[in-house]
Amino acid sequence: MSDFWDRYGRSVSICHRMPPVLKLALAISVIVAGVAIPVRYWPAYGVLGCLVFAGHSIAGIPLGYLIKRLLIFLPFVGSMAISLPLSQGLDRGWDLMLQIMFRGCLAFLVSLWLVNVMPFEQLLVTLRKLKVPAVVVAILAFMYRYVFVVWDELDKMRTARKARSFSGGSLWFRWRTLSQMIGMLLIRSLNRAERIHGAMCSRGWDGEVHWLDDQD
Amino acid sequence: MHIQDGYLSTSVCLATGAVSLGAVGYSLHRMKDSLGERTVPLTGMMGSLIFAGQMVNFPIGLPVSGHLMGGVLAAAILGPWAGCVAVTLVLVAQWALFSDGGLLALGANVLHMAVLGSIGGYAVMTTVRKLLGGGLRGAVAGSVVAAWLAVLAASAVFCLEFRLSYAASDFDFGNIFTLMVTLHALIGVGEAIITGFVVSVIYQQRPDLIDMAQPTDSRVASSASRFAAAGLVCALAVAAFAAPFASELPDGLDSVAERFRIAASNESTSGLFANYDQIPIAGWQKLSVSVAGIGGSLAVFAAAVLIGRAMPMNSPTIATEAAGE
């Protein structure tokens, strides 16, 4: 799964070697520019678009991957944007819709670039440097560590369900079964959290987060 | 469901971001009171769970499918403050891993799903539970109603933010409001059913997990703040239904929007269609809002009753024993 998210996070390029804060600042400034520049200065959008594609190509992220991700993203931004002209009786709101879709895609591509040049653990260290409270970073780190475990658990439950020939049924029945699966997953995860908490306590956990770089 | 970058203007993003930052900061401050040193493992695991739970697709008989959002569920387990933090961090991680949800729009997403969803949802949930007198029925009905209202409130607030982001001439606020709120009344029914089922499973298997924060956190239960929050959410939901009927509201919003626009110097899209006269479709919007309101409320309450009844999974005795204590 993580292979799909930040597939190119571990490759080597100038973009990957940039200081993390600079990457973050670059991404934020391009997104802000994309949202804030009025439509009448449309040449600026061309420049931003070129910048984004240049960034992707320097980072070595192939076009096919971008297109694949965009195709997943487009229905989401599209369904929201299409509701604008739909609600106006199809005679207004088309230009606003296009504007939203364009800005959305631009920002999405910038985010995608950032995700692919900055692996999650680097983001955590950066957040820590930016004085985000230690407990927030600790929870995020914990989440990132265990989301894959919970995922595997979910996969196991899916396999078990398939092995017992679960299929069809009324919508109500299927919703009930799927929700029960989430409920059981929740109980199992919280049981696991209690075990982890016990293990943490036995290793001297007192609720305070200590980071190695705090001692510098 | 997430707001992407580009939907809202920068100034609205900054304003919602400031509100969310305050709310999450306060939640962080309060979270430790209720969960103590269990904060990191419990909140982190809840975050992972919501993250994974959103991957379970619920068929709705169409090519698209729904999924859990989880704000009310997190609040039902962890209490409002840790629930808010958990959902916030899920949103951060979704942006950082999937690039889903946008960076500038993070504040708005947090406001809708974490602040309205967890804190507002918790207020509604406890109020309903109190009215119904606890037990399985109270827990399920509370979470069902809270989940539905939270989705509805989020859609109403989104419309207001959207209105403040663009010039009034670009679109008719009443129409987009109607469409959004009607749609989300339906989406909310889905979220309400999933949340209700999940809560009832947990209540039957591990009743101690529901609202772990409750016993130690007496300040959360102070009725004044809870009623204020419940009132806010209810008012938003009522506003959602009443807005198309009240003709003054768009005008009031217009003036607020004008002020915003002067401050932010937002552009009006001088587009192809801007000069067309809008064809009023007067009848359908009032009708559809009424239908959505009545139908949605009925569906939610029917779901609450059905879920309460349709869960003979196993060991109902434990649930009744726990309820009796």
* pLDDT tens string B214-224: 544 444 445 55
pLDDT confidence of residue B312: 45
The answer to whether residue B275 sits within a structural domain is no
Q: How many CB pairs under 8 A join A and B?
A: 276
Quick one: pLDDT band at residue A200, thresholds 50, 70, 90? confident
Strand, helix or coil at A93?
coil
Q: Do A91 and B273 touch (CB under 8 A)?
A: yes
- Tokens found for residue A133: 């409270």
For the cut 50, the answer to whether the pLDDT of residue B266 exceeds it is no
The answer to whether residue B2 sits within a structural domain is no
How far off is chain B from A134, nearest CA to CA, in Å?
A: 10
DSSP A102-142: HHHHHHHHHHHHHHHHS-HHHHHHHHHHTT--HHHHHHHHH
For the cut 70, the answer to whether the pLDDT of residue B226 exceeds it is no
ipTM value for the complex: 0.86
Query: Best mutation site among B198, B206, B278, B314 for testing chain A: the one with the most A CBs within 10 Å?
Result: B198
CA distances from A5 to A118, A193, B50, B207 (A): 11, 25, 18, 36
Tell me which amino acid residue A137 is.
V
The answer to whether residue B97 sits within a structural domain is yes
pLDDT confidence of residue B324: 38
- Tokens found for residue A120: 């999650």
pLDDT confidence of residue B24: 92
Percent of chain A with pLDDT over 90: 6
For the cut 60, the answer to whether the pLDDT of residue A137 exceeds it is yes
pLDDT digits (tens, 9 = 90+) for A33-86: 888 887 777 788 888 888 888 888 888 888 888 888 888 888 878 877 777 777
CA distances from B56 to A158, B19, B50, B64, B310 (A): 10, 31, 10, 13, 21
B79 to chain A, any CB pair closer than 8 A? The answer is no
Percent of chain B with pLDDT over 70: 62
User: Closest by alpha carbon to B6, among A133, A176, A211, A109?
Assistant: A109
- Tokens found for residue A176: 């009930």
B194 to chain A, any CB pair closer than 8 A? The answer is yes
Across the interface, of B42, B104, B197, the residue whose CB is closest to A176 is B197
pLDDT digits (tens, 9 = 90+) for A77-117: 887 777 777 776 666 677 778 888 888 888 888 988 888 88
As a whole number, the mean pLDDT across chain A is 83
Domain count, chain B: 1
Query: Best mutation site among B13, B39, B40 for testing chain A: the one with the most A CBs within 10 Å?
Result: B40
How far off is chain B from A24, nearest CA to CA, in Å?
A: 10
- Residues in chain B within 8 Å Cβ distance of A135: 28, 32, 39-40
pLDDT confidence of residue A72: 82
Quick one: pLDDT band at residue B270, thresholds 50, 70, 90? very low
Region B275-294 average pLDDT: 49
CA distance B39 to B47: 12
Region B117-125 average pLDDT: 89
Radius of gyration of chain B (CA): 20
DSSP B18-78: HHHHHHHHHHHHHHHHHHGGGHHHHHHHHHHHHHHHTTSPEE-SSSSEE----HHHHHHHH
For the cut 90, the answer to whether the pLDDT of residue B238 exceeds it is no
pLDDT confidence of residue B297: 63
B284 to chain A, any CB pair closer than 8 A? The answer is no
Q: Do A189 and B102 touch (CB under 8 A)?
A: no
DSSP A24-76: HHHHHHHHHHHHHS-GGGTHHHHHHHHHHHHHHHHTT--HHHHHHHHHHHHHH
**Where do runs of H (alpha helix) occur along chain B?**
10-35, 39-53, 71-78, 80-98, 106-109, 121-132, 135-165, 173-205, 223-242, 248-264, 282-309, 316-324
B6 to chain A, any CB pair closer than 8 A? The answer is yes
Least confident of A28-37, B95-104, B145-154: B95-104
Q: Do B170 and A93 touch (CB under 8 A)?
A: yes
Boundaries of domain holding B167: 10-263+282-324
pLDDT confidence of residue B320: 39
Q: Do B104 and A95 touch (CB under 8 A)?
A: no
For the cut 70, the answer to whether the pLDDT of residue A123 exceeds it is yes
Query: Best mutation site among A190, A195, A197, A206 for testing chain B: the one with the most B CBs within 10 Å?
Result: A190
Across the interface, of A86, A104, A120, the residue whose CB is closest to B179 is A86
CA distance B252 to B240: 15
- CATH number for the domain that contains residue B217: 1.10.1760.20
- Tokens found for residue A3: 């292979």
For the cut 80, the answer to whether the pLDDT of residue A213 exceeds it is no
For the cut 80, the answer to whether the pLDDT of residue B86 exceeds it is yes
CA atoms within 13 A on the CB side of B312: 1
pLDDT confidence of residue B18: 92
Q: CB–CB of B180/B295 below 8 Å?
A: no
For the cut 70, the answer to whether the pLDDT of residue B250 exceeds it is no
pLDDT confidence of residue B229: 60
Across the interface, of A83, A138, A144, the residue whose CB is closest to B180 is A83
pLDDT confidence of residue B272: 34
Higher pLDDT, B57 or B11: B11
Q: CB–CB of B199/B140 below 8 Å?
A: yes
Q: CB–CB of A183/B193 below 8 Å?
A: no
CA distances from B32 to A136, A168, B38, B47, B238 (A): 12, 45, 9, 16, 34
Portion 237-276 of B in contact with A at CB < 8 A = 267, 269-274, 276
- Tokens found for residue A80: 């929201």
Percent of chain B with pLDDT over 90: 14
Q: CB–CB of B96/A120 below 8 Å?
A: yes
CA distance B52 to A153: 10
Could you tell me which residues come within 8 angstroms of residue A79 by beta carbon, excluding any fewer than 6 positions away? Answer: none
Torsion-angle region of residue A169: left (phi > 0), alpha (psi -120 to 50) or beta?
left
The answer to whether residue B5 sits within a structural domain is no
pLDDT confidence of residue B321: 39
- Residues in chain A within 8 Å Cβ distance of B5: 31, 34-35, 103-104, 107-108, 111
CA distance B162 to B159: 5
Q: Do A136 and B178 touch (CB under 8 A)?
A: no
Q: CB–CB of B194/B68 below 8 Å?
A: yes
pLDDT confidence of residue B42: 87
CA angle A31, A36, A37 (to 5 degrees): 105
Q: CB–CB of A28/B103 below 8 Å?
A: yes
